[in-house]
Amino acid sequence: MLGEEVAAVVQLRAGAEAGAEELRAHVGRSLAAFKVPAHVLVREEPLPRNATGKVLKRELRGEMGGGPGVSGG
- Domain for residue 26, yes or no? yes
CATH code of the domain covering residue 33 = 3.30.300.30
Q: What is the pLDDT of residues 43-70, one digit of tens each?
A: 989 999 999 999 999 999 888 876 554 4
User: What total of structural domains would you count in the chain?
Assistant: 1
- Domain for residue 38, yes or no? yes
Q: What is the pLDDT of residues 14-49, one digit of tens each?
A: 999 999 999 999 999 999 999 999 999 999 899 999
- Domain for residue 1, yes or no? no
Instruction: Check residue 64 and give its pLDDT.
Output: 82
pTM: 0.73
What are the residue ranges of helices labelled H in 1-73? 20-28, 57-64
- Domain for residue 72, yes or no? no
Report the C-alpha gap between 15 and 29 in whole angstroms.
24
Is the model's pLDDT at 7 over the cut of 70? yes
- Domain for residue 57, yes or no? yes
Range of the domain at 29: 7-64
